[in-house]
């Protein structure tokens, strides 16, 4: 979302720059060189460099997109007194907030201090996260701005042709290979007797610490010829090559993969978690049952018949945002205006 907002700001005539420790697949002019050395040394080195660049650039406002609240300390140090917007892409599962990566303090303590700081504003990417932040940090300036897929940047011509065999239902998942993403439980569903012999092929784009465990599971289930782990790729332009996108996450903040698939008019199957329910709305098209044992019976008709997948696309059509770029910019322009008016 940070890069989408950067581009939107430029399109609307504002000055903007992006600073991040790494931006895979992004243009070299905005992707800074990655620091070498220990992880902690890289963090501090990048924060010092980013703080110096912020001071030289002298922005009216700093917007930090945090993968986790544990990164808030770095944003605080970089902002150095400038008005600060913090968007939380993923809140910790449960009630325990981790220690801040940089300051080594409880991240909840850092966020409470930030909540009292003049010119600071929190942004949640889902209604569920907004409720959790409001309950945990009562009185903190807080806004809701859902993540949105901007088609002109996600529907690009694919630079990579996905290696699907001929004559199969092309299944696709995109995400880090971590327990959170739930690829292991979708694998178990696809290995069931009801669907394993149907003509499907599942490609998973992403990398992560669970690769070894997933590879062993694929082999033990005898699915080496039907499931492939492709590693990290630029996902833009990949969704249009699939017949169905699978999103079996155990938890999420406001996931982008299903919104990108929906914008590409590809049917999406979603696990029954709060952000997916929020996205799907009252009719819940494409939402899998909570009981994983029932997943094969939900998969079977979609794997057997193109008509069933086409009906799911029609049901999910109402979930697509007609002008996501305008909606995204409108959400954040309101946040920026409020922050600057109170700075």
DSSP, collapsed to helix, strand or coil, labels residue 7 as helix
Q: What pLDDT sits at residue 156? A: 56
- CA 79/CA 119 separation, integer angstroms: 11
How many CB atoms neighbour CB 286 within 10 A?
25
HSE, side-chain direction, 13 A CA sphere, residue 25? 10
Structure-block tokens of residue 36: 């070498």
In this structure, are residues 84 and 119 in contact, taking their beta carbons and an 8 Å threshold?
yes
Bridge partner list, 204: 173, 229
DSSP, collapsed to helix, strand or coil, labels residue 165 as coil
- CA 53/CA 67 separation, integer angstroms: 22
pLDDT in tens, 172-196: 999 999 999 999 999 999 999 999 9
User: Which helix (DSSP H) or strand (DSSP E) does residue 86 occupy?
Assistant: strand 84-88
pLDDT in tens, 282-317: 778 899 999 999 999 999 999 999 999 999 999 998
Give 110 or 3, the one with higher predicted confidence.
Answer: 110
Domains and CATH numbers, the chain: 2-148+323-342 (3.40.50.2000), 152-319 (3.40.50.2000)
pLDDT in tens, 228-268: 999 988 777 789 899 999 999 998 877 889 988 888 899 99
- CB within 8 Å of 105: residues ≥ 6 apart: 73, 99
CA dihedral 79, 85, 86, 87 (to 10 degrees): -140
DSSP, collapsed to helix, strand or coil, labels residue 173 as strand
The two most distant CA atoms of the chain are separated, in Å, by 62
């Amino acid at each position: 979302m940070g890069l989408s907002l950067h581009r939107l700001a430029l399109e609307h005539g504002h000055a903007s720059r992006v600073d991040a420790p790494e931006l895979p697949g992004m243009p070299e002019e905005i992707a800074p060189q990655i620091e070498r050395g220990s992880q902690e040394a890289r963090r501090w080195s990048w924060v010092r460099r980013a703080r110096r660049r912020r001071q030289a650039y002298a922005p009216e406002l700093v917007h930090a997109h945090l993968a986790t609240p544990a990164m808030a300390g770095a944003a605080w140090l970089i902002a150095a007194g400038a008005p600060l917007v913090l968007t939380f892409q993923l809140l910790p599962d449960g009630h325990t907030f981790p220690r801040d990566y940089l300051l080594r303090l409880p991240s909840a303590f850092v966020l409470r201090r930030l909540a009292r700081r003049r010119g600071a504003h929190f942004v949640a990417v889902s209604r569920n996260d907004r409720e959790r932040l409001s309950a945990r940090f009562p009185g903190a300036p807080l806004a809701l701005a859902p993540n949105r897929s901007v088609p002109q940047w996600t529907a690009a011509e694919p630079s990579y042709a996905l290696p699907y065999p001929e004559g199969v239902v092309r299944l696709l998942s995109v995400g880090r290979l971590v327990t959170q993403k739930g690829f292991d439980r979708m694998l178990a569903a696809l290995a069931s007797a009801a669907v394993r012999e149907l003509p499907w092929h599942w490609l998973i784009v992403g990398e992560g610490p669970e690769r070894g465990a997933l590879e062993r599971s694929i082999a033990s289930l005898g699915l080496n010829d039907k499931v492939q782990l492709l590693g990290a790729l630029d996902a833009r332009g990949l969704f249009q090559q699939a017949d169905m996108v699978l999103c079996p996450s155990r938890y999420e903040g406001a996931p982008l993969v299903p919104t990108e698939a929906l914008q590409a008019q590809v049917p999406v199957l979603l696990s029954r978690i709060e952000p997916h329910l929020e996205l799907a709305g009252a009719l819940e098209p494409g939402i899998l049952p909570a009981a994983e044992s029932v997943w094969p019976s939900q998969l079977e008709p979609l794997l057997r018949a193109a008509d069933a997948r086409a009906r799911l696309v029609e049901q999910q059509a109402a979930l697509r945002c007609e002008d996501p770029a305008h909606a995204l910019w409108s959400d954040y322009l309101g946040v920026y205006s409020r922050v600057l008016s109170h700075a």
